[in-house]
Structure 1
Amino acid sequence: MSGGARLKGRVAVITGAAQGIGAEYARALAAEGAAVVVADIQDAEPVARAINEAGGKALAVACDVTDSESVGRMVADTLQHFGKLDILVNNAALFGKLSRKPFDQIESDEWDRMMAVNVRGAFECVKAAVPAMRRQQYGKIVNIASGTVFKGQTMLLHYVTSKGAIVAMSRSLARELGNDGIRVNTLAPGLVMSENVLNNPEWAGAASQNTVNTRAIKRDSVPEDMCGTLIYLCAPDSDFVTGQVLVVDGGAVMH
């Protein structure tokens, strides 16, 4: 694959990587030399196959991040296939297909599902991945939050709340895992025109344009916009960086 080699010899797990931004993350890390595990509850085989055909190394693994046994199997498959685990990108989340609605119209079951996937899913993956990272006294965990945490967002209370929890979780994990050589950081995208967002009428026209208007760089964001920051957080360049949030949204949020 064309690209650099900043992640040569590293093994990375990316959840929610069968499509959209997650698939772009997997391709970007593979292009930098990482062996990637493309994990998703959906069929991740096409993404892994394309990476392998391009000269990279990839393994597709079926994984439900809300199921601790499924997550355990994902880590076991990673270790069996590639021998170690250096990088975990907790990307799996509910967002692209969401319907925007006032908070008092969000059903309790929908709230619980959001927390199970977006918050507990990241927790389950970290819990399963850390023993392998501890053994080698090195690891990079990148949790995916959202710029909405820092500005508030109407009509998506359950989603924004879940991503606020990710920021808090990352900071606490960074403290707890620092002595193990494991860095934990957060990448917080703005609204990205991924496949699901493009196909969701909720984000057509004025809704997405209103977001663009809040940015210093006034254009739509595409998945590729996230990859440089992700690579930095996974690479040795950021070995002295932990507990931080990097917002990548064209300057809508400045903090």
Structure 2
Amino acid sequence: MKNGGRLQGRVAVVTGAAQGIGAQYARALAAEGASVVVSDVLDAGPVAAQINEGGGRALAVACDVTDAQAVLAMVNAAVARFGRLDILVNNAALFGTVSRKRFEDITSAEWDRMMSVNVRGAFECVKAVVPAMRERKYGKIVNIASGTVFKGQTMLLHYVTSKGAIVAMSRSLARELGDDGIRVNTLAPGLVMSENVRSNWSADKVRGTVDSRAIKREALPEDMCGTLIYLCSSESDFVTGQVLVVDGGAVMH
């Protein structure tokens, strides 16, 4: 891990970080010097152990982002362990294992579950971290949306709608939290070849996405990390309420 990295001395929480893109986010933040709370409903211990064994600082915390008390306990654990909280990456979401289907075949229960995890989960995490950030008059919140918001993806209406809500939420939060020195931005990835996507998306669907890009290759989790580090670092201190799409030029936003 870097001594004197761009996030040296900062403390970050990454939700949904036990695997896939979230795990890569956690590793990237640690590589830039941040102490990282690796949070998930799944076992985040292996990711935290990897960071610690590599010379970084990480703490695994089990947390369901739809449970307000569990989220508050996660934040308290972060502050108790590392003494402060500077960065939240709201990554936890349902996507990789979600079945693609026509909108009329999405059940009300499926819709409600998607909104509970993807939208209310992000809301609960922001509510929980803001007091610690307000104390220092500084913070970075990066909400993870999706390039599908700007394309109008078929067969995933509940997912795309939830990520549209994240964009709107981020803009409103940026207005509310600006006077507190807290920046709120949105990272919107295109289709990224995480383990779950590779397992659940057909080659034809992936190829169609790649063909829509100006840079015609598959996106990997590490492709998202340069933008994430920028949004979490002091380099973006005058940037808030913005959406950065990272998808190889499928969306030119």
Segments of structure 1 that go 5 or more residues without pairing to the other structure are none
Query: Which residue matches 1:61?
Result: 61
- Structure 2 counterpart SS, 1:38: strand
Query: Which residue matches 2:167?
Result: 167
Residue 243 of structure 1 is aligned with which of 222, 229, 241?
Answer: 241
- Structure 2 counterpart SS, 1:231: helix
TM-score for the superposition, normalised by structure 2:
0.99
How do 1:1-255 residues align onto structure 2 when only pairs under 5 Å count? 1=1, 5-200=5-200, 203-255=201-253
Superposed CA deviations along residues 43-68 of structure 1, whole A, max 9, x for unmatched, are: 00000000000000000000000000
- Structure 2 counterpart SS, 1:143: strand
Superposed CA deviations along residues 9-34 of structure 1, whole A, max 9, x for unmatched, are: 00000000000000000000000000
For these two proteins, the number of residue pairs brought into alignment is 253
Q: Identity over aligned residues, as a percent?
A: 77
Superposed CA deviations along residues 84-104 of structure 1, whole A, max 9, x for unmatched, are: 000000000000001100000
Aligned counterparts of 1:155 and 1:250: Cα–Cα separation in 2? 22
- Structure 2 counterpart SS, 1:237: helix
The alignment's C-alpha RMSD in Å is 0.8
Q: How far 1:205 moved relative to its partner? A: 1.1
Q: How far 1:211 moved relative to its partner? A: 0.4
Segments of structure 2 that go 5 or more residues without pairing to the other structure are none
- Structure 2 counterpart SS, 1:153: coil
Q: How far 1:204 moved relative to its partner? A: 1.8
| Amino acid across the alignment from 2:57 | K
Aligned counterparts of 1:24 and 1:91: Cα–Cα separation in 2? 11
Q: 1:4 to 1:153 in 2, by over 3 A?
A: farther
Q: How far 1:4 moved relative to its partner? A: 6.4
Residues 4 and 31 in structure 1, CA contact (< 8 A), matched pair in contact too = no
Superposed CA deviations along residues 143-182 of structure 1, whole A, max 9, x for unmatched, are: 0000000010000000000000000000000000000000
Aligned counterparts of 2:19 and 2:37: Cα–Cα separation in 1? 13
